[in-house]
Structure 1
Amino acid sequence: MGLEKILSVAGKPGLYKLITQTRTGFVAESLLDGKKISVGLRSNVSVLSEIAIYTLDEELPLRDVFLKIQEKENGEKTSVSHKDEKIKLEEYFFEVLPNYDEDRVYTSDIKKIIQWYNLLVENNLADFTKENSAEANKKTEEKK
């Protein structure tokens, strides 16, 4: 399962796996406790494949950031917790992504990224190499 089916729901902790769509929204399963929730169309929902991190050069897709963390940690959970001190989190993120934009990427963003990465590793969803076929088609068209 790629990041296209993993969601962050505003006001709800952790991440959710998209199960099915309904007339009024969709049903998602929590990666924290496995409980299913119904999410309405008015809820603020982010799909992980659509999130990017600001760097000094460009916006880097979250998938690429996760790949860098995975490479640093050899596929294991991170050596820091999302609950660690601000300085420790920033130092860790600087090791992973040395050119991230410190003015636009906040500590709260770093905490989320670390927490999300660890959740995905715990749930065996840490295959960040897959690309959505729509993304692959788009990149192919851009090269033409």
Structure 2
Amino acid sequence: MTFTKIITISGKPGLFEILSQTKNSVIVKSLIEGKRFPITATHNVSLLENIAIYTYDEEIPLATIFKNIADKEQGKKAISHKESNKNVTNYFLEVLPNYDQERVYPSNIKKIIQWYNILVNADFDFSTLTLEVSTEEEE
């Protein structure tokens, strides 16, 4: 499983891995349930690698944030996304100290933590994020 093939689908909970592509659809697998199903062009899809978080200086890619959380938690699960807004914002300050607190809402942080924990449960190898992030910067 590579980070470049992980997506989120609007209206569907969790994360999905792109498995293959057909003429009219893309076959994905839920990282929570393991079920496979097709999605079509009518679905609103976002690649996790295209998502970034605002800081006061720049936008930080989600892969970098996941790597920071994995380093902090030593590859284990983070706090629950159901914690209070105060707890998740304090936790996120430890992971990304200069995030823009006016443009990044607690609901965004909870979604990031939820996604991270889904990836941990799916046995995602966060050490691969270092390689992918560094090769993108070199190009």
Q: Flag whether TM exceeds 0.5 (same fold).
A: yes
Tell me the secondary structure at the aligned position of residue 53 of structure 1: strand
Tell me what 1:140 maps to.
Answer: 138
Query: One-letter code of the match for 2:47?
Result: V
Offset at residue 71 of structure 1 (A): 1.1
Q: Does the CA contact (< 8 Å) of 1:2 and 1:131 recur in 2?
A: no
Give the drift of 1:139: 3.6
AA aligned opposite 1:130: L
2-side partners of 1:124 and 1:29: how far apart? Answer: 14
CA–CA separation in structure 1 for the residues paired with 2:118 and 2:37? 18
Alignment of 1:43-58 (within 5 A): 43-58=43-58
Aligned position for 1:20: 20
| SS of match in other structure, 2:43 | coil
Shift of 1:140: 3.4
Residues in 2 aligned to 1:43 and 1:4: alpha-carbon distance in whole angstroms:
18
- AA of the residue aligned to 1:107: P
Deviation at 1:26, TM superposition (A): 0.3
Aligned residues: 137
Q: Confirm or deny: 8 A CA contact 1:2 1:130 kept in the other structure.
A: no
Residue aligning to 1:31: 31
State the Cα distance separating 1:49 from its structure 2 match.
0.9
TM-score, normalised to structure 2's length? 0.92
Deviations 1:31-66 (A, max 9, x none): 111111211112110111111111111000001001
Question: Which residue number in structure 1 is paired with residue 96 of structure 2?
Answer: 97
Asked whether the 8 Å contact 1:53–1:105 carries over to 2, the reply is yes
Q: Which runs of 5+ in 2 are unaligned?
A: none
Q: Which residue is equivalent to 1:116?
A: 115
Give the TM-score normalised by structure 1: 0.89
Give the AA of the match of 1:140: E
Secondary structure at the aligned position of 1:99 is classed as coil
Paired letter, 1:100? Y
The sequence identity of aligned pairs, in percent, is 47
Secondary structure class of the residue paired with 1:111: helix
User: How much has 1:30 moved relative to structure 2?
Assistant: 0.4
The 3-state SS of whatever aligns with 1:49 is helix
Which ranges in structure 1 are unaligned for 5 or more consecutive residues? Answer: none
C-alpha deviations, 1:53-98, integer Å up to 9, x for none?
11111000001001110111111110x2001111111111011111
Provide the alpha-carbon RMSD of the alignment. 1.5
For residue 84 of structure 1, what is the amino acid of its counterpart?
E
**Paired amino acid for 1:72:** K
